[in-house]
Structure 1
Amino acid sequence: MSELFDTGDATRRRTLGDAHVNRSRAGDPVLDAPFVELITEAAWGRVWSRDTIPPRERSMLTVALLAGLGNHEELRLHLRACANTGATKEDILEVMLHVAIYAGVPRANSAIRIAREVFAELEAGDG
């Protein structure tokens, strides 16, 4: 693997946790390995590893985009990652208010429901 992959892998593990990253690599090597390499180098190595935006703010941006686009599975994943990036429930509320105004109330309403579920799971130790 490349140096960019290694950098991205370290950032991805720090943000999403080892368990998630390990699960993502346990799939079909023909279908999954090229995709994992792509996102690890591009998303995590080239974008998330930049030091221009702190992880908390990068996490909030990501949550806003995922909520606004209705990507609920990835939204759940990145809401869980807030525990590792420092984005708080209060930060996520502010994000959802922006989502409501700029992407629509139905998108924000769904995302708030998901956030409520995810944070409850994390507080119960199920996350």
Structure 2
Amino acid sequence: MSERMKQGMATRRRVLGNAHVDRAEAAKDGFDAPFQEMITEAAWGHVWSRGTITDRERSMLTIALLAGLGNDAELALHVRATANTGASREDVLEALMHVAIYAGVPRANHAIGIAKRTFEEMGAA
């Protein structure tokens, strides 16, 4: 395992939590293993591990981008990750307010619904 891969895995675990990463790792097989390795090294090892901005800031950026692009499953995953990144519910709402202006009210409205449900699930857990 390369140093970049090790760093990516450590960052991925810090942000998403061990339970999520363990499930994802257990579910990968010969078909998607190369993809999992690529995102661990590229997204988590190169981008999330840069240290130029905080995990909180990166979390807010990621949530806004995912919402603006309509990536619902990934959006819920990253809303759950706010428990580890330090981004508050207010931070998430601020990010989604930006989505409304720059990517469209329907995208933001849908994302706010996803965030509300995800935060409710997190509170119930």
Q: Number of residues paired by the alignment?
A: 125
Instruction: Measure, in 2, the Cα distance between the counterparts of 1:73 and 1:31.
Output: 21
Code of the aligned partner of 2:42 = A
Instruction: Measure, in 2, the Cα distance between the counterparts of 1:75 and 1:89.
Output: 14
Code of the aligned partner of 2:94 = E
SS at match of 1:31: coil
Corresponding residue for 1:99?
A: 99
Pairs within 5 Å for 1:2-41? 2-41=2-41
Q: Give yes or no for the alignment of 1:84 onto 2:68.
A: no
Unaligned ranges ≥5, structure 2: none
Code of the aligned partner of 1:50 = R
Instruction: Measure, in 1, the Cα distance between the counterparts of 2:123 and 2:29.
Output: 35
Displacement of 1:28 after TM fit? 4.3
Displacement of 1:27 after TM fit? 2.3
Corresponding residue for 2:49?
A: 49
Unaligned ranges ≥5, structure 1: none
TM-score of the pair, normalised by structure 2: 0.97
Corresponding residue for 1:73?
A: 73
Instruction: Measure, in 2, the Cα distance between the counterparts of 1:31 and 1:107.
Output: 32
Percent of aligned pairs sharing the same letter: 66
Code of the aligned partner of 2:111 = A
Instruction: Measure, in 1, the Cα distance between the counterparts of 2:91 and 2:111.
Output: 14
Superposed CA offset, 1:35-74 (max 9, x none): 1110010000000001101000000000000000000000
Instruction: Measure, in 1, the Cα distance between the counterparts of 2:81 and 2:118.
Output: 10
| Contact 1:48-1:58 at 8 Å conserved across structures | yes
TM-score of the pair, normalised by structure 1: 0.96
Corresponding residue for 2:62?
A: 62
Instruction: Measure, in 2, the Cα distance between the counterparts of 1:107 and 1:28.
Output: 31
Code of the aligned partner of 1:16 = L
| Contact 1:25-1:32 at 8 Å conserved across structures | no
SS at match of 1:114: helix
After the TM superposition, which of the residue ranges 18-27 and 106-115 deviates more from structure 2? 18-27
Cα distance change of structure 1 residues 81 and 28 upon mapping to structure 2, 3 Å threshold: closer
| Contact 1:16-1:81 at 8 Å conserved across structures | yes
